[in-house]
Amino acid sequence: MNGKIVSLNISEKKGVRKKAVKEVCLKTEYGIEGDAHASSEWHRQVSLLAVESIQKMRDKGLDVKPGDFAENITTEGIDLPSLPVGTHMTIGEDIRLEVSQIGKECHTRCAIYYLAGDCVMPKEGIFVRVLRGGVVKEGDQIVVIL
């Protein structure tokens, strides 16, 4: 299963929409340099959400774009929630990620939930650990290793 990166998104604080950037540096066992969610202390170092999931929210009438769900990497062409925990993926030649969690529990309802009555990130977003880091750019290919 192959896909591509359509957007890379970071924020300096948790709980806010992320802003799009053209490239990021993934640090081994840490996450994205400069992102509020990066940490060697937990397994949710980087979050991914498919642009296809964002489109579902657009179809409900919301004006949303990549990064609005606080995802770090917006993908295209991969059915992210179907990937089992432990699945590996590569970006480019060197970068290696491991799926560490599918979805998340939403303890508080976000602004998206109140606007649409639903949010895709808790059900369709995934989290990964960075096994081998490097520089990632918008448009890079992702290869899922099942």
Q: Per-residue pLDDT averaged across 17-38, rounded?
A: 94
What's the total number of domains in the chain? 1
Q: Per-residue pLDDT averaged across 114-129, rounded?
A: 74
Q: Is 107 left (phi over 0), alpha (psi -120 to 50) or beta?
A: alpha
3-state helix, strand, coil in the chain (%, to 5): 15, 40, 45
Domain of residue 35: give its range: 2-145
Is it the case that residue 1 has pLDDT exceeding 90?
no
Segment holding 113, helix H or strand E: helix 111-116
- Binning pLDDT at 50, 70 and 90, where does residue 104 land? low
Query: What CATH number is attached to the domain comprising 124?
Result: 2.40.33.20
Write down the pTM of the prediction: 0.90
